[in-house]
Amino acid sequence: MVRLGQNFLADPNLLDAIVRDAELSPEDVVLEVGAGEGVLTERLAVAAAHVHTVEIDRGLEPALVPIAALPDVSLHWGDAMKVDLADFEPEPTAMVANLPYSVATPLILRTIELLPLLQSWTVMVQKEIADRLRAAPGSRIYGSPSVVAQLACEVELVRKVDPAVFKPRPRVDSAILRLRRTGAAIDPATQRLVRAAFAHRRKSLARSLEHGEKGSLAPARAALAELGLAADSRVEALSPAQFAALSAKLQSDT
């Protein structure tokens, strides 16, 4: 059955493929969110030095008790959006998971921000989420999550996944998404800028910022011009790097 919105992987070949795709080293500490029945956890425990697996559904306890007894497996009960992941010892260096689709995007962004030692993510997500996180500027689905993720990571689609490998079969397409860290998480000021910019994407970027903070229209237009961009640039026209440059310029001018 589906428990709390999670669809369990039922294909052992795909489970093995996910572990291979993660390219784990024997020294890696893995974070898994959505332990389910523990079938992926078991495989990760063989491939890595330690596995932290997080599960919110206590109804899965009978299946997970034997998994938690494995050497170097730590089972954490709770909501991964609320659990203090930064307190996990040893600190995770890789995330490998069949993520609950309802929290996949905020959870990926949360781990980028909270876990600086986390260097790679190999996660099963709804294909729509994979497409959004790796979307390029100018795309209709390019948005705040795309910018936030791409400023810290390279993002790539590893493979599409047939719905038949899940139990029960989901009504959406799925994909394995890989992120590789290329830098630190963006600073709070840049994060606020990006979110404010996309909050009113029908407007120009400068007017969207003005809508959220009065008095920001002229400085935003001036900063865009100094960066060689049109003063009335649309938000989806800026690349992640240009957002970072705009934020730095606005911060330096205050």
Predicted local confidence at residue 75, as pLDDT:
97
Q: Transcribe 1-45 into DSSP letters.
A: --BTTB-EE--HHHHHHHHHHHT--TT-EEEEE--TTSHHHHHHH
Predicted local confidence at residue 4, as pLDDT:
47
Q: What is the pLDDT of residues 123-160, one digit of tens each?
A: 999 999 999 999 999 999 999 999 999 999 999 999 99
CATH topology of domain 188-252: Helicase, Ruva Protein; domain 3 (1.10.8)
Q: What is the pLDDT of residues 7-17, one digit of tens each?
A: 788 789 999 99
Indicate the average pLDDT of the chain. Answer: 93
Predicted local confidence at residue 31, as pLDDT:
98
H or E stretch including 97?
A: strand 94-98
Show me where the domains of the chain are located: 8-181, 188-252
Model confidence at 3: pLDDT above 60:
no
- Which residues contact residue 225 at a Cβ distance below 8 angstroms, ignoring those fewer than 6 apart? 231
Model confidence at 1: pLDDT above 90:
no
Predicted local confidence at residue 183, as pLDDT:
96
Count Cβ atoms within 10 A of the Cβ of residue 1 and give its class: 0-12 exposed, 13-18 middle, 19 or more buried: exposed
**pLDDT band per the 50, 70, 90 thresholds, residue 5:** low
User: In this structure, what token pair is assigned to residue 126?
Assistant: 């709804």
User: In this structure, what token pair is assigned to residue 179?
Assistant: 């992120």
In angstroms, rounded to a whole number, what is the distance separating the alpha carbons of residues 132 and 135? 5
Q: What is the pLDDT of residues 167-216, one digit of tens each?
A: 777 888 899 999 999 999 999 999 999 999 999 988 999 999 999 888 88
Which residue in this structure is represented by tokens 């905020």?
106
User: In this structure, what token pair is assigned to residue 84?
Assistant: 């203090």
Q: Which residue type sits at 212?
A: G
In angstroms, rounded to a whole number, what is the distance separating the alpha carbons of residues 106 and 88? 19
- Strands 120-126 and 153-161 turn out to be unpaired
pTM score, whole prediction: 0.92
CATH topology of domain 8-181: Rossmann fold (3.40.50)
Query: What is the mean predicted confidence (pLDDT) over 96-102?
Result: 92
Query: What is the mean predicted confidence (pLDDT) over 229-241?
Result: 95
In angstroms, rounded to a whole number, what is the distance separating the alpha carbons of residues 168 and 170? 6
Query: What is the mean predicted confidence (pLDDT) over 63-69?
Result: 95
Model confidence at 85: pLDDT above 90:
yes
In angstroms, rounded to a whole number, what is the distance separating the alpha carbons of residues 209 and 68? 48
Is residue 85 within 8 A of residue 107, CB to CB? The reply is no
